[in-house]
Amino acid sequence: MDMTQTTLIEKFPGVYEINHPFVQHKLTSLRDKNTPTREFRMLVEELGILIGYEATRDLETELVEVETPLEVAQSPTLKGKKLCVVTIMRAGNGMTEGVLKLSPSARVGHIGLYRDPQTKLPIEYYVKMPPDLDQRTIICVDPMLATGHSATAAVHKIKDMGAKEIRFICLFAAPEGLALFREEHPDVPVFAGVIDSHLDENAYIRPGVGDAGDRIYGTK
Ligand code: URA
Answer yes or no: is the C-beta of 53 below 6 A from any ligand 1 atom. no
pLDDT in tens, 148-201: 999 999 999 999 999 999 999 999 999 999 999 999 999 999 999 999 999 999
Taken in order 39, 94, 166, 156, the sign of the CA dihedral is positive
Distance, CA of 123 to CA of 5 (rounded, Å): 36
pTM here is 0.94
Report the chain's mean pLDDT, rounded to a whole number.
94
Q: Report which protein residue has its CA nearest ligand 1's atom 5.
A: 204
Instruction: Give helix 149-160 / helix 175-184 axis angle, nearest 10°.
Output: 20
Q: Is 107 a catalytic residue?
A: no
Q: Which of 50, 130, 127 is nearest to 83 (CA)?
A: 130
Question: Which own/partner pairs from 118-122 qualify as long-range (CB within 8 Å, at least 24 positions apart)?
Answer: 120/147, 120/149, 120/203, 121/149, 122/149, 122/150, 122/153, 122/154
Q: Are 90 and 115 in contact (CB under 8 A)?
A: no
Q: Are 168 and 140 in contact (CB under 8 A)?
A: yes
Question: Over the stretch 94-104, which tens digit does the pLDDT of each residue have?
Answer: 999 999 999 99
Q: What is the pLDDT of residues 5-46, one digit of tens each?
A: 677 777 888 999 999 999 999 999 999 999 999 999 999 999
Give the torsion through C-alpha atoms of 90, 148, 100, 54, to 10 deg. Answer: 150
Q: Ligand 1 pocket check: which of 40, 171, 211, 214 to mutate, most ligand atoms within 8 Å of Cβ?
A: 211
Residue 122 class from Cβ within 10 Å (0-12 exposed, 13-18 middle, 19+ buried)? buried
Would you call 132 a catalytic residue per the annotation? no
Domains in the chain: boundaries: 6-217
Q: How far is the CA of 139 from the centre of ligand 1 (A)?
A: 20
List residues bridging with 75 in a β-sheet: 64
Of 3.10.20.30, 3.30.1330.10, 3.40.50.1360, 3.40.50.2020, the CATH number of 6-217 is 3.40.50.2020
Active site residue 119: yes
CA distance 203 to 198: 9
